[in-house]
A and B are shown apart, each in its own frame.
Chain A
Amino acid sequence: MLKLWSMKQEQQKADNATSGPKKKKVTAAQLRVQKDLSELSLGSTMKTTFPNPDDILNFVLTIEPDEGMYKGGRFSFNFAINQNFPHDPPKVKCKEKIYHPNIDLEGNVCLNILREDWKPVLNLNAVIVGLQFLFLEPNASDPLNKDAAEDLKSNREGFKRNVRAAMGGGSVRGESFERVLK
């Protein structure tokens, strides 16, 4: 306590840092998201939308796969990031009701880095790459929609037909889906 004062004055000479009326600072989470956003590589198949451009912690990512079984569809994901980012992962949910083995009817996504494998060194780009990959390679061994996973495992061609039907707004196994075709 006692020595702090003199120490500090020495530092002050070296440092031309400043003081003055204090205003609200950009938070650590905002700063990190700002950095992550500047490093996104969205390519031609993805884009972001910010309902409130001043709030960079909440946005929508739209993916339009240009290959694979989900080609021609348009899928949007809500990203909700809290002030505890990057300690906490972003919360990501699919906005449409879609037929996908790793996405349930509520829009929950089974992607390891969104939950059990999240680490603060991962960034938003890793998450969007992961999401994009889910449309290229739906994974039957980590099912969130059990029916879709079984279809994919047992009959790949049948699964493809189901994907087309669901994307067109049709029903699969008695469950109706949202039209997500462009």
Chain B
Amino acid sequence: MEEEFEESHRTVPKPKGMADPEARRWEYLRYILYRPGPWVPEEATQGTEAVKFLERMKVLVIGAGGLGCEILKNLALSGFKDIHVIDMDTIDVSNLNRQFLFRQADVGKYKAEVAAKFVMNRVKGVSIEAYCGKIQDKDESYYKQFNIIVCGLDSVEARRWINATLVDMVDLEDGDSIKPLVDGGTEGFKGQTRVIIPSFTACIECQLELNAPRAAVPLCTLATIPRQPQHCIEWAHIIAWEEERKGDTLDTDDPEHITWLYQKAAKRAAEFNITGVTYSMTQGVVKNIIPAIASTNAIIAASCCNEAFKIATAMNPSLGAPAEGENNYMMYSGDDGVYTYTYSYEKKEDCPVCGITAKKIEVDGEMYLRNFMDLLAEMPDAQLKKPTIRTEGQSLYYQAPASLEEATRHNLSKKLSELLSSGDEVAVSDPAYTIDFRFQLIFK
């Protein structure tokens, strides 16, 4: 046993000139990639090949904020060489305590750009391409180029968007269309890491119920009996702004707008003998800022990058790994002591994003919508007697409510080719079923 270990240990090439910090940086990475391990599948490549494979991996990091900074640094130091990063935000002075890739002089600049430059400067040989904008600006052709996507986001909406996009991209005839998504999230002392393998594991939409609703105070409390400084700020935000600055769109990044709200809130607080309204509290309430804890971000980002590394190298089973078919979610809580729990979040059969794959059906473009609906009723695997049907942009026919039925009735006597083009997808609901159906219509 001793002997064997010695043998395999010797196969790890020692970098020349151990005094060189650049070479020493990768020493431990080599220990992992050059040695066989009990969890390494036989077909996995090792040694130099594995290093090359890792270097060729194209990783997209979404978000260059609290988690994003950590993720970018970790990925670069784990041997990934081809990294891309998207973030639409600019740097605020309040980010500097934990978003360590940014300096005072960077305030106002784009996060993605500054973060990319910083990491490229510190870790030689890594290329990071920044895109400063929204994830929604990009389409499938962009997301297609990546092998792994790592998210450090703070919004449910953005997560749902990227999730739906990646699930939609899955083409079962093309293995490369499946993009593993590693999603990290933190809130105060709590956090989570989950891995989504689109079409295999539960997707983000399946897990939507995990998101706690935003804590809100009843509107009437705000309007009549505020008790806390935050109530006064919410009042200024929701009621006073609407009343006095109608038509002006509130920009939470505009200091003038925040100042206006702050002054309104302070005045109201004084009327009710409430103390404690400050400018930064106003900013916090209006932008719904949850205090971020640097160490929670570090822990979650480390876990995310660990998963990304395992997915890329197969040196150990990752969360969501199909071979395991089990755990895909790791929750972390640092509220009371330190606790983690890893479990399997199950896929929802009726998930509106990953639960229903569009069924391709061939139809005659000359067919009237009315007859197509009869066809849906006759199809043995559909049997939809009262279908409501739409495309992404168009309501084709609604059974209810009455006004929509009336507004869409004229479509019944239109030909399919007048309403849509071949390859369009329609979603069909029927009161007899709790799940919805998707069909892709191909004209004969």
Q: Which of A16, A22, A149 interacts with B140 by CB under 8 Å?
A: A22
For A149, give the chain B residue with the smallest CB separation. Answer: B224
Known A3-B321, A8-B175, A37-B400: A143·B224 in contact at CB below 8 Å: yes
Residue A142 CB within 8 A of the other chain? yes
- Residues of A near B88 (CB, < 8 A) are none
Q: Which of A1, A20, A53, A120 interacts with B147 by CB under 8 Å?
A: A1
- Residues of A near B157 (CB, < 8 A) are 83-84, 87
Residue B403 CB within 8 A of the other chain? yes
Q: What are the 4 A-B residue pairs with the smallest beta carbon separation, nearest first?
A: A18-B360, A26-B427, A53-B407, A17-B357
- CA–CA, A142 to B218, complex, Å? 8
The answer to whether B175 and A4 touch across the interface, beta carbons within 8 angstroms, is yes
Q: Which stretch (A108-116, A159-167, A173-181) binds chain B?
A: A108-116
- CA–CA, A104 to B125, complex, Å? 61
Q: For this complex, into which size category does the number of interface residues on chain B fall? A: 35 or more
The answer to whether A47 and B402 touch across the interface, beta carbons within 8 angstroms, is yes
Known A18-B357, A34-B427, A143-B220: A26·B390 in contact at CB below 8 Å: yes
- Residues of A near B404 (CB, < 8 A) are 37, 48, 50, 53, 56
- CA–CA, A8 to B404, complex, Å? 41
Q: Hey, which bits of chain A sit against chain B, CB under 8 A?
A: 1-5, 7-8, 11-12, 15-28, 30-32, 34-35, 37-40, 42, 47-50, 53-54, 56, 83-84, 87, 102, 104, 106, 108-110, 112, 115-116, 118-120, 142-144, 146, 149
The answer to whether B197 and A23 touch across the interface, beta carbons within 8 angstroms, is no
Known A28-B205, A31-B427, A34-B429: A3·B323 in contact at CB below 8 Å: yes
- CA–CA, A110 to B173, complex, Å? 52
The answer to whether A20 and B438 touch across the interface, beta carbons within 8 angstroms, is no
Residue B242 CB within 8 A of the other chain? yes
19 A-B pairs whose Cβ atoms sit less than 8 Å apart in the complex: A5-B175, A17-B359, A20-B442, A23-B392, A26-B426, A30-B427, A31-B352, A34-B436, A42-B402, A47-B402, A48-B403, A48-B404, A50-B403, A83-B161, A87-B156, A104-B223, A118-B216, A120-B213, A143-B220
Residue B41 CB within 8 A of the other chain? yes
- CA–CA, A87 to B242, complex, Å? 24
Known A26-B425, A31-B427, A34-B388: A49·B403 in contact at CB below 8 Å: yes
Known A2-B41, A37-B401, A38-B388: A110·B223 in contact at CB below 8 Å: yes
The answer to whether A108 and B429 touch across the interface, beta carbons within 8 angstroms, is no
Residue B67 CB within 8 A of the other chain? no
Known A28-B352, A48-B401: A116·B408 in contact at CB below 8 Å: no
- CA–CA, A32 to B43, complex, Å? 44
